[in-house]
Structure formats: C-alpha cells, structure tokens
Amino acid sequence: MQLPEHILSQRESLPLKPNPVILTGRYVRLEPLIIKRDARALWQISNGSEIKLGDTSFPAYDADEMIWRHLFDYPSQSPEDMVNVLTKRVNLDRALCFCVFDQTLNHPIGVMNYVNNYPEHLRIEMGGIWFSPIARGGLSATEGIYLMLKHAFNIGYRRVEWKCDALNERSAKTALKIGFTYEGIQNNHMIVKDKNRDTKWFSICVEDWPTIKAQLEIRLCV
C-alpha cells in the first residue's frame, strides 16, 4: 500500500541522531544526559550502596540483581566507570540518552534512551532503561515511558520498539503493562557478557497509540 505524502515526508524531517529535547511530566523530567553534571549522581544511586534522597532511603542492595544483570553494562565500580558507560551511550549515532530527574527532589533517578533510530522507516526503539531501586514502586518509570512515547509519535514516528533479554521478566511485564504488543522471540540474537541472549520483541504502532495514550493518562492522572 502506497503511503500518503504527508507521512513519507516525515522521513526527511527526522535526523539520524534524535534532536535533544526536555520532556517534562508531573513526576519526572527527562533531560539530555550531560556527563559532567549527571555521572556521579547516577553512580551514587546505582552502585549497590545505601541510598538517601531527601526523606527517602533504600538499604544496601545487589546492584547486579536489581539493575544491571540484563543490560549490556556491568555495575560501575567507581564514578569513572560510570563516566565510561554513559559516554558510550551519549555518543551513539542513532540514539539520544536521557537522565531522568525526580521532579520533587530534582535529583537523577535513572537513565532512558531512544536507540536504533531509523527515520527512513519512521521507527525508533526505547532501550537501555534503568531506574535506581529507590525510584521503584511509584509512577516514575511509567511516566518516563509515556513521555518518550508521546514525543516519538508527536514528531512523526509510526512504530516504537521495545526489546529485552528473554530472561528479563520485569522488563517484559513492564512492556505489556504499558500496552506494547508482544511480537515474539528471536533466539540466539546476541552474545552479551559472554552469554547467549534470546530477545523478546514488543512494539506500539501509531494506530494503537491513541487508545494506549488515553489509558496511560488515566493511570498518571494527566
């Protein structure tokens, strides 16, 4: 089926590296990540040591189990390690790395990314997403995902993808809860940390977005 010109023309307006933008919600704010500003704070809330933010605290924890196990990177052992991890993310050609700030505390609580951007096909992926355990249990992640989905569809994308390690049950459940459609599993898709990774694929297409958007806005009281 031939697509109409107003859709095809969107391909020319979307850059290979997504344009930096600040996405602001009720609970979180997503800003393009700045290494000098954000790296140390992100390390402090993701390295397994006790976390204290404002009146909230979280005891020492297993950083690999709670954050890093199914991601491409290992837990950072120092702020310098975190700088190296984040620099790779920030410098990717087809990606835009966000630092997630808690709106009340004005403090970093996680990282979200647009990755694998293919404007020629009007599709983009959300990936490399992690939140500190101190931010779990609320609506921070849900709102962050909503803000990224809303922005992507508003500027002309037709498909937003979500992929995760087939062993990452938490990520798969999050995708389904948001409204992503499960598309299947790609076996032997990658070798990550010297281990085989089978990958689950999910997507939201533009025709399904209005219904999903409305449902998310009810949850977020938007």
List 14's β-bridge partners, or say none.
Answer: none
Per-residue pLDDT band at 34 (split at 50, 70, 90): very high
Cα 64 versus chain centre, distance: 18
- Cβ pair 126, 145 in contact under 8 A: yes
The CATH label, of 3.20.20.140, 3.30.870.10, 3.40.630.30, 3.30.300.30, for the domain at 5-220 is 3.40.630.30
Residue 26 is predicted with a pLDDT of 97
Burial of 10 (0-12, 13-18, 19+ CB in 10 A): middle
Residue 138 is predicted with a pLDDT of 87
Per-residue pLDDT band at 160 (split at 50, 70, 90): very high
- Cβ pair 108, 101 in contact under 8 A: yes
What are the extents of the domains in the chain? 5-220
Q: Average pLDDT, whole number, for the chain?
A: 96
Question: What is the Cβ-side half-sphere exposure of residue 194, based on CA atoms within 13 angstroms?
Answer: 1
For the entire predicted model, the pTM comes to 0.96
